[in-house]
Structure 1
Amino acid sequence: MGAFDTLRIAGSSLGVHQTWLDTLAHNIANVNTARSTDQDAFQAQMLITSSRAGGGVEVSGLAKSDPEGRMVHNPSHPLADENGYVRMPEIDMSSQMSQLIMAQRGYQASVQTTKNAQENYASALQIGRA
């Protein structure tokens, strides 16, 4: 492993975790997005990641949840059909919150790894100067 591989790998992890956090925030912000029954429900997004050759990770795609969503009886909603139904996204809030915690912790771990690598490289440079 080269001298700067740790920084490169931690940097790729930071990028993936930031994208994961953004995706979760988007899903959570749209958990109550109602649509008319003739439209698709809001589709939650999920990251697809893969490892890079030589180390690190990357976002290789996005998967989306079922566009059918769930039908909710809410006759007072302006988008309700003649039977009083609207289409809501099929998003499990507890799962989203659990993933949010995992993404935050992964991001924090990547930041700490980056800091540790920078400190180690700085120490090695000091030793080299002495």
Structure 2
Amino acid sequence: MKIGDNILGFGISAKGLSVQRKKMNLIAENLANGNSVRTADGQPVKRKILNVTQKKNVLNQQVVDFSKTMKLATTNPNHISNPTLTTNKTSSTSDLEFKVTEDNTPGDIVYMPEHPNADGNGYVQMSNINTITEMIDMIAASRSYEANLTAFNASKQMAKDSLEI
């Protein structure tokens, strides 16, 4: 989601919202499959984890010289100097790599001889998805989403207030 290059707060918050939304979707998928014993190919269900990394060499340093784009009227030329602003163009999620990996820790082994997936001794390897861990991760992702939304709204309010000056 590309918001705009002029207001970096929008892009940063939008990126955070997107990452947390993907994380919550993956956690919801884990919770939905938590009680499943086997996948379609007969393997035990494994917990999925979202890994987010930033691509290398994507930060384009850009120097903006405001003296060429806008001129401020001042009574004394020494009051305000011509500022330069160095910004990082990070307003889209295209510079992030999302990788879903599986947690390879074994699940609990439960004695259920009547279960169709039981081995010769009557034991079934259950999923390694822990509902409590997933709910804790969901709460953390939800709060991070809310924090990004609050920052986005604050940036929006600052932009609105600056237009009213």
- TM bin, normalised by shorter chain, reads 0.7 to 0.9
Equivalent residue number for residue 61 of structure 1: 99
Point out which structure has higher relative CO (alpha carbons under 8 A, 6+ apart).
2
How far, CA to CA, are the matches of 1:84 and 1:12 in structure 2?
48
Look up the SS of the partner of 2:43 in the other structure: coil
- Structure 1: 5+ residue stretches without partners: none
Aligned letter for 1:82? G
Are residue 47 (structure 1) and residue 50 (structure 2) matched?
Answer: yes
Are residue 99 (structure 1) and residue 102 (structure 2) matched?
Answer: no
How far, CA to CA, are the matches of 1:95 and 1:18 in structure 2?
18
Aligned letter for 2:135? M
Deviation of 1:75 after TM superposition, in Å, equals 1.8
- Structure 2: 5+ residue stretches without partners: 60-87
Deviation of 1:95 after TM superposition, in Å, equals 1.9
Normalised to the residue count of structure 2, the TM-score between the two structures is: 0.66
Equivalent residue number for residue 6 of structure 1: 9
Equivalent residue number for residue 71 of structure 2: none
The structure carrying a bigger helix percent of its residues is 1
How far, CA to CA, are the matches of 1:13 and 1:104 in structure 2?
11
Percent sequence identity is 26
Aligned letter for 1:111? L
Mapping for residues 64-103 of structure 1, pairs under 5 Å: 64-66=102-104, 68-103=106-141
Are residue 27 (structure 1) and residue 65 (structure 2) matched?
Answer: no
Normalised to the residue count of structure 1, the TM-score between the two structures is: 0.81
Residues 44 and 64 in structure 1, CA contact (< 8 A), matched pair in contact too: yes
How far, CA to CA, are the matches of 1:41 and 1:16 in structure 2?
27
Equivalent residue number for residue 146 of structure 2: 108
How far, CA to CA, are the matches of 2:125 and 2:42 in structure 1?
8
Deviation of 1:68 after TM superposition, in Å, equals 4.5
Equivalent residue number for residue 18 of structure 2: 15
Structure with larger Rg: 2
Aligned letter for 1:69? G
Aligned letter for 1:23? L
Q: CA RMSD in A?
A: 2.4
